[in-house]
Amino acid sequence: MYNIVKTLHSYWAYFVLIVLIIATFNAIIKTFTDKEYEANDFRKSLFTLIVSHIQLLIGLVLYVVSPRLQLFGEVGMGGIMKDAVNRLYLVEHPVINILAVALITIGYSKHKKKLTSNAKLKTIAIFYSIALVLFLSRIPWNTWLG
């Protein structure tokens, strides 16, 4: 079960990053070029919201079935925080990525309340950009690409 969920989480992450990059750069470019907000922009931001939430759910399942979770009982929080790899997988990666998904959710919700195209696109650009940076900062690159 663990290996299946881990593989799904890893491959779905590629999809999330691609969709998030598309939505983010679309909003940034349209903000700086004063383009109008269109139905396609709404779809891109909504699709990003959906795939990131699916990734969050897969990640939460992975966290629960992970053999690393036993380390909380074995070495405690202090032991986990002293080991960079365990800290990344058990604390930093989950917390930062949950925060990133929360920012996507907030940005999506806030943009719907804006009345002008520029305000809508700017809101998506800001929140999705921050989420993208957070995601990229906590990906375990050595194991993900290896």
C-alpha closest to that of 24 among 133, 138, 146:
133
How does the average pLDDT of the chain come out, rounded? 93
**Mean of the pLDDT values across residues 101-107?**
98
- Residue 134's pLDDT is 96
pTM value is: 0.91
Long-range contacts of 88-91 (CB under 8 A, 24+ apart): 88/138, 88/140, 89/140
First to last CA, the chain: 21
